[in-house]
Structure 1
Amino acid sequence: MKTNSIRRHVLALAGLLALGVSANVAAADAFPTKPLKILVGYSAGGAVDAIARSVGQRMSAILGQPVIVENKPGAGTNIAVKALIASPPDGYTLLLAANALAVNPSLFEPAPYDLERDLTPVASVGRVPVVFTVREGSAIKTLPELVAAARAKPGSVTVATPGNGSTPHLAMELFQHTAGLSLRHVPYKGGAQAITDVLGGHVDVVAVNALEVLPLAKSGKLKVLAVMSTERAAVLPGVPTVAESGYPGFEASVWYGFVAPAKLPQPVLAKLHDAVQKALESPEVRDQLAAAGGGPLPGPTSQFDKLLKTDAARYGKLIREANIKPD
C-alpha cells in the first residue's frame, strides 16, 4: 500500500511538472500577446532614447504588439536597471542599456546588481566611437602630437570628459595607460560644458561620444584627432583610429544593447533577439544610429554576452587601479 501511494504521488508530481513545462512552452510560442516595454536609463530626447524609440517602432511591426518606451533616468542608470530586475522574466520588459551597465557594478559601492545573476543579455544594437577632439587652431593637431606634448611635460595636457566614470573618462584612462602617459583629467557634469571649455581654450582636449562633436567638427570649430573604434567612423571618414595612430588593437566605444531580467525563457529570448536583428536591417534604424555618430552592431546573443563580460572585466580593473569614484 505504501509503495503504491508513493508511486501515485510520484506520477502526480511528474504530471504537474509536465503540465508546467507544456504551459511554459505554449506561452513562449504565443509570445507576445500584450504590449512590450523598453526601459531607458536616460532622459527623453537624448541619443539612447531616440535609438530605443526607433528600434522599438520596428520591433512593434515585427512582433505585432505595441512597444512602449519608458524613461527612468537617475543614479547613473541604476534606477532603470533595478526596475528591470524587479520585472517578471517574461520578455515583456527590456532595458536598452549602454556601457554603464557593465561599468556600474565596479564603480558603485556596494555593487547595485550582479550582471550574471540578475540579467539576461538579449542583443547588441549599435556602437558609437569615443573621440579625442581639440579646438581649431590648437597647437595639438594629431594624436601623435598629443602624445608628444604629454610626454614632454607629464600632467600638463588637460583632457575634459562628461564626468568621472563616464565611458569617455574610462576611454581616456585606458589610452593613457596604453600609451604610458600622464594626462590631467578635468571632469564635467556632461559633455556640453566640456566642449564649451575646449572651444574657449580652458582645456586642451575633450573626450566625448562622436555624436556630441559632429556639428562643430563639420563647421570647422573643432578638430577630431582620432576615433577610438576599431574602424574609421562613417560620419568621420577622414579621421584616423587610435589603432592607426600607433596603438594597434586599441578600442573604446559606447555600445547599446538590450537586456532582460534573469531566467528569461530561451524561446522568448530567441524571438526577441530575432526581432532586434530584423529591426537593425531597417533603413530608419540605421539612419538613427548614424545620426548618433555610429552604426548597427548585429550579432548573436553570445557576442553581446562576451562584450558585456569583456567591458566589465577591463573597466573594472581600470576603476580599481585608478581608484575612480562616481560623481
Structure 2
Amino acid sequence: MLNKKSKSIIALLLVALMCFAAVGCGSPASKEPAEASDGTAAPASGLRPEGVPKDFPNKEIEWIYAFGPGSPMDAYFRILADKIQKTEGWKHGFVVTYKEGASGRIGWNAFAQAKPDGYTLGFAPSAMLISAVSEDVSYGADKMSYIINTMSDPGAIGVAAGSQYKSLKDLVEAAKANPGKVTVGVTSTIGQEGLTVKLIEKASGAKFNMVAFDGEAEIFAAVIGKHLDAFCLNISDATTFIEEKQVEILATGDDERSQFLPDVPTYKESGYDVTQLNMRGIGGPAGIPEPIRQYLENCFIAAANDPEVKAKAAEMKIPVDTLTGAELQTMFTSIADTYKKLYEEDPWN
C-alpha cells in the first residue's frame, strides 16, 4: 500500500537504478563453478542446480515490462535483479525493456514468443489471464514458464467517508433492492475490477451500475464528490485517500485480511465467495529448460529473502508475496479457470 512518501522513494530509487543501461552493471564476477563431465556446471552452491550450462548467463537477460517505467513492480524487479547479479557474481545482468501498448498485450506477447532459453523473461500479472481467456493470444496460464510471484495487491471495494454503506453487505443489499441504481467506479468493465463486480453480482443476485473511468484518480474524485456510490480497485490505489480519511474500505479481495487493513473483512468474510488479487509474477516463454528455470527461481527467491532487499521493500510498502514457480502456476491456473467459467456464462467481448 503506497502513500505519497513511498511513491517518492520509488521515484528516487528508479532514477538511481536507471542510470545504468543494465541492472547491476559492473559487478565483479565470482569464480566460475566447476565443470561436470557432461559439459554443464556442477552445482557450486544451493542456488545453481545440476544441468545449468557452466557459462549461464553468458549474455544479458532481457526483462520485458509491458507498461511504462516508475511502478512499484518496476522498482522492485530492479532491486531483485541487482542483488542477484552481485550475489551470484555474474558478468552479465538484466536489461529492462519497456514494451507498452494494447493494455499489456504487446509486452506479454513479446516474451511469450521469445526463444525459451532463459535469456528472455517478462512481467506476468494475473490480469493478463483475462485477455488470454477471451482472445487468441500467444500467452496464457498454460503458455509460459513460471519463475516466481513477487507481490500480490488485494482488491478493495470502498465508499466515501461517512457513506450510508457501512459494510459490503449493505452495498450489495442496496443493489439488490434497487437493480442498476447503485453505482460502482472501475477502470474497465472487462478488467479485473469489472469482472470482480460481476462475480459478486452472480454470488448475491445483485445488479450494480458499473461506470468505467480512464484512471483511479477520476474514480476517487467522483466517489468523494458523491457522484459515485462506491469503487472497486486495488488497496494500493486507495492508500493516500484512506490515510487522508476521504474514503473507507468495506472489504478486501484476498483470502486473508490485508496486513495494511487488518480490521477490514474480506469479500469471503462478508458472505461472497469471490477473490480479487492482482498477482505480479515473473515468467518466461513456455519450454525454458527446467535446470535454468529452477536456477532463476532460486536466485529470485534468495534475493527476495535477503535482509537488505526486505528492508527496502518494507520502506516502500510493497505488498511482497514471494511464491515459487509451481505455486504461481497453481494460482494462475485457478484464476484462469474462474475467468473461463465466467466468460462462458457472460462473454465480455
Structure 2 counterparts to residues 1-327 of structure 1, below 5 A:
22=38, 28-63=53-88, 64=90, 65-108=92-135, 111-115=136-140, 118-247=143-272, 249-283=273-307, 285-286=309-310, 295-325=319-349
Residue 137 of structure 1 deviates from its aligned partner by: 2.0
Residue 187 of structure 1 deviates from its aligned partner by: 1.2
Partners of 2:148 and 2:109 in 1: CA distance: 19
Matched-pair contact (CA < 8 Å) for 1:129–1:293: no
Match of 1:18 in 2: none
Partners of 1:207 and 1:169 in 2: CA distance: 8
Residue 322 of structure 1 deviates from its aligned partner by: 2.4
State, as a whole percentage, how many aligned pairs show the same letter. Answer: 25
Q: What amino acid is the match of 1:243?
A: K
Matched-pair contact (CA < 8 Å) for 1:42–1:49: no
Match of 1:13 in 2: none
Partners of 2:338 and 2:171 in 1: CA distance: 24
Q: Which has the higher helix share?
A: 1
Residue 37 of structure 1 deviates from its aligned partner by: 1.9
Match of 1:6 in 2: none
**What residue ranges of structure 1 are gaps of 5+ in the alignment?**
1-20
Residue 114 of structure 1 deviates from its aligned partner by: 4.6
Shift in alpha-carbon separation, 1:145–1:71, aligned structure 2, 3 A: same
Shift in alpha-carbon separation, 1:66–1:174, aligned structure 2, 3 A: same
Partners of 1:288 and 1:191 in 2: CA distance: 26
Partners of 1:86 and 1:167 in 2: CA distance: 24
Matched-pair contact (CA < 8 Å) for 2:129–2:141: no
Shift in alpha-carbon separation, 1:69–1:151, aligned structure 2, 3 A: same
Count of residues in Structure 1 that have an aligned counterpart in Structure 2: 302
Matched-pair contact (CA < 8 Å) for 1:56–1:69: no
Partners of 1:284 and 1:198 in 2: CA distance: 39
Superposed CA deviations along residues 77-119 of structure 1, whole A, max 9, x for unmatched, are: 11111211332211121112211222212233xx112536642
Q: What amino acid is the match of 2:250?
A: L
Residue 292 of structure 1 deviates from its aligned partner by: 7.6
Shift in alpha-carbon separation, 1:293–1:181, aligned structure 2, 3 A: farther
Matched-pair contact (CA < 8 Å) for 1:103–1:315: yes
Matched-pair contact (CA < 8 Å) for 1:243–1:250: yes
Partners of 2:187 and 2:127 in 1: CA distance: 13
Aligned residue for 1:297, secondary structure, equals strand
Aligned residue for 1:299, secondary structure, equals strand
**What residue ranges of structure 2 are gaps of 5+ in the alignment?**
1-36, 42-50
Matched-pair contact (CA < 8 Å) for 1:163–1:190: no
Q: Give the ranges of 4+ consecutive aligned residues of structure 1 lying more than 6 Å apart after TM superposition.
A: none
Residue 184 of structure 1 deviates from its aligned partner by: 1.2
Partners of 2:54 and 2:261 in 1: CA distance: 44
Aligned residue for 2:217, secondary structure, equals helix
Q: What amino acid is the match of 1:189?
A: D
Match of 2:27 in 1: none
Q: What amino acid is the match of 2:117?
A: D
Matched-pair contact (CA < 8 Å) for 2:141–2:332: no
Shift in alpha-carbon separation, 1:80–1:48, aligned structure 2, 3 A: same
Aligned residue for 2:266, secondary structure, equals coil
Q: TM-score, normalised by structure 1?
A: 0.84
Residue 265 of structure 1 deviates from its aligned partner by: 0.7
Superposed CA deviations along residues 32-70 of structure 1, whole A, max 9, x for unmatched, are: 222222111111112332333233233333343422222
Q: What amino acid is the match of 2:106?
A: I
Partners of 1:178 and 1:284 in 2: CA distance: 43
Partners of 1:117 and 1:92 in 2: CA distance: 20
Matched-pair contact (CA < 8 Å) for 1:97–1:256: yes
Aligned residue for 2:323, secondary structure, equals coil
Matched-pair contact (CA < 8 Å) for 1:286–1:295: no
Q: Which moved more, 1:53-62 or 1:151-160?
A: 53-62
Query: What is the root-mean-square deviation in Å for CA atoms of aligned residues?
Result: 2.4
Shift in alpha-carbon separation, 1:271–1:238, aligned structure 2, 3 A: same
